[in-house]
Chains A and B, each alone.
Chain A
Amino acid sequence: MARTIRKVVVLGANGAMGSGSGAVFAGAGIPTVFLARTRDKAEAGRARAEKMLKSTAVSAFITTGGYDDLEREVADADLVFEAVAEELAIKREFFGRVDAVRKADAIVATVSSGLSIAAMCEGCSDGFRKAFLGIHFFNPPNVIVGCELIPHAGTAPAVLAEVRALLDGPLGREVIETSDTPAFCGNRVGFKVLNEVAQLAEEHGPAFIDALIGPHTGRAMAPLATIDFVGWDVHKAIVDNLHAHTADEAHAAFALPAYMQRLIDAGHLGNKTRDKGGFFRTDGKGKDAVRLVLDPATGSYRPLADVAVALPPFVAAMNAAIRVGRYGVAMDAMCEAQGPAAELMRKVILGYVSYGLNRVGEVVERARDVDRIMGFGFNWAPPSVLVDAIGARRTVALLERAGLPVPRVVLEAAERNLHLFDEPEVDRGRFFVASTLAA
């Protein structure tokens, strides 16, 4: 049932995900209707889309309206893309209105990053449920091409195929299909690491732990800086959801640290609350700017420059090797170093490899899917890239020594002496970043 998507309606087009997703549709030349509570709010979403794509020409494909226009606009839409608040009751109210007027073959998608796809469409008509699935873009969607495609048990295979073709083709997405499990794949694997580092920050201090698990361990942005960037409220929503609805080997890692809850209650949400901050805060501007870091025990901040971060020499060795493109040498330094900091780094990084690749069979079908969402969605070194750089046999030995589950795919790679990463068009080197702090 190949068919052209000729009209998209975005609900919640004023928000970051709504306007960003709308920019992706309109940017592909698909007429897109931005709807929000008022037309003015939708217009603000359109302005944001223009800014993201750095073009006013894209607006030729965008029209705007308020929710009063929903019935009229949805009636002839081919795809309705929901990006309203992450609350089941609110989403269900919108889906009820869409269900009443949608064309029989109209597809309905949600950008939700946490709610169950099946639960969201409960109570809707059979036709609606067959046409319903999750399209999880990552923010900002015009830059981050990785996206998750999540059918529920009742999604019609033809709908899934059609949406995949749209995402793969005109929208230029890197698509990873996941099961309808809590937080899907990317956030489940990624926030396990982020929250584990937040837990460790209590004992080791945010400055030290963020420097230790920094870019040289395979990411563009250090973990705690990432939580500040995402927002502590969003972080809490994701890890609370995972803590409540999963029961696997990483369950304890999803418990939000008590100090984070106390600070959230006091209005500390990371970069979005600039005056209060998160793990870090910048006071003043320009030359007078002072970077501060949180003391989790007291909730107070002190200048980052006053906090002595004593990284062991192997971290400098990793950074020096990465700077000249010797990524295997950097991984050797991580694997062979002695001492508590090295143990800590290996616990987090190998823990990521173990937890990520162990989701194969549960959340995704293949190791390649985990690799793709971590690479294209999080901009982190995919687990298989790390396994290849460390060596599969050494990875198995290190996982066993650390008491971490050894994923089946890593065992197989070790037994057959194979490389795991299967993405020939992706440069592995881009995932290894030399930290400026340690340089």
Chain B
Amino acid sequence: MTRPVYILGGYQTDFARNWTKEGKHISAMIREAVEGTLAATGVEGREVQVGHVGNFAAELYAMQGHLGAFLVDCDPAFAGLPTGRHEAACASGSIALLAASAEIEAGRYDCALVVGVEQMKTVNPAVGGDFLGTAAWYEAEAKGIEFPFPKLFGKLGDEYDRRYGLKDEHLAHISAVNYANAKRNPRAQTRTWYMSEAHACGTGDYNAAIGGRIKISDCSQVTDGAVGVILASPEFAEAWAARRGVQLDHTARLAGWGHRTAPLRFDDKVAASAGDPYVLPHTRQAILDAYQRAGIADCWALDGIETHDCFTTSEYMAIDHFGLTAPGESWKAIEDGVIDFGGKLPINASGGLIGAGHPVGATGVRQVLDATLQVTGRAGKYQIDNARRVATLNIGGSGTTSCVFVVEG
């Protein structure tokens, strides 16, 4: 990157909350995330120069657009703050981060506030599933289909099965690890839920199949949540670190990024990757781009990964796409315990989307906040020992928009 972009910290709301039951408007979520972020970082409202909001579908879930403007309401010093809102389905939060970091790299601003937010529990699961279908090519892939996304990511599993073979018990292990990790995360949605590998392997009333090979235990959650982070230029970060009494060297920074977009339709993506060892080559390329920009050779330079696991199949894909194994051999990393908490390269110490929750537009920001907490040693009970470099992968649609960050501390 031409000019380092620092991450001063941030705040995540408790993903177990149901803001509809609390009687709250989406602006309350934004307010809590902003107030929490300012309090957690010690950045004052008057120091923030620009605000970016990542959100997927507030127009559908909450009958509310123009979310950037709600930032202005959150602090008296925000009057006149330039703001905007970014959308790329489940990658919306990462797109907001990319926009903010580009502005800092370009020298336009020294201090940017990024908020990812989604309020999803306003509607029943069937209606919500239909809304999520707009992250695919709605008319071609989702219209009139109950729960289209589990079916699309079931097809991702089927494609792995066709090319390399895939055992469902490996997917069950991914689920069990994410749930187990979530128990260490005090803001994870499922931290009090019951899950075990035996349960995830089983079927029946409590673990019904909802889309091909995808069962309930393979799915991420319907989540209400908001997350904020502060990005800063080297000059701002240096002054901030001095007044906080911390070393700039131990402040997190975005060391690299990757951003690629594949065709929207899942079948088009798979057809385009015929003959390629990687099922989603654009996702692989986004990861390689981030490695190259961060100046690292491969995944073994990382201490942890926060990946998109909207379904267990997406994490299965991430394992070989990050290069933990050769293409098609993700099961080896699963069987060897590489991805476990305490393993050689832990994936989703936070619990990921399956365990921590998946408020769609907030997920990319949540991943970068968790990476920041890890590399600065502030992840509490889910801290990876001596983590200095953590990567994130945030995916919009059925592997369509792929965003990767490498965060160093």
Q: Which A residues are closer than 8 A to B by beta carbons?
A: 23, 27, 29, 50, 53-58, 60, 142-143, 145, 172, 215, 220, 319, 322-326, 425-427, 429-430, 432-436, 439
Contact = CB atoms under 8 A, between A and B. Distances in A.
B198 A57 contact: yes
B245 interface: no
Given A325-B24, A427-B13, 13 more contacts: A23-B194, A27-B194, A56-B204, A57-B202, A60-B198, A215-B23, A323-B23, A323-B28, A325-B25, A427-B14, A427-B17, A430-B17, A434-B23
Contacts of A432: 22
B23 A55 contact: no
Q: Classify the interface of chain A: helix, strand, loop or mixed.
A: loop
A57 B198 CA distance: 6
B199 interface: yes
A435 B23 contact: yes
Interface string B1-27: 000000000000110010001111101
Contacts of B202: 56-57
Given A172-B192, A433-B22, A57 B199 contact: yes
Contacts of B32: 325, 427, 429
A322 B22 CA distance: 9
The 3 closest A-B pairs by CB, nearest first: A434-B23, A325-B28, A325-B31
A319 B23 contact: yes
Contacts of B198: 57, 60
Given A56-B202, A324-B31, A427-B32, A142 B22 contact: no
A55 B206 contact: yes
Nearest to B29: A325
Nearest to B27: A324
B194 A142 contact: yes
Contact of A325 (B27, B195, B196, B199): B27
Contacts of B25: 323-325
Interface stretch (B49-57, B183-191, B271-279): B183-191
Contacts of B23: 215, 319, 322-323, 433-436, 439
B1 to A, nearest CB: 32
B206 A323 contact: no
B309 to A, nearest CB: 20
Nearest to A49: B194
A54 B194 contact: yes
23 contacts: A29-B196, A53-B194, A55-B195, A55-B207, A56-B202, A57-B196, A57-B198, A57-B199, A142-B192, A172-B183, A172-B191, A172-B192, A322-B24, A323-B23, A324-B25, A325-B28, A326-B31, A427-B32, A429-B28, A429-B32, A434-B22, A434-B24, A436-B23
Interface in B190-239: 191-192, 194-196, 198-199, 202, 204, 206-207
A319 B24 CA distance: 9
A324 B30 CA distance: 9
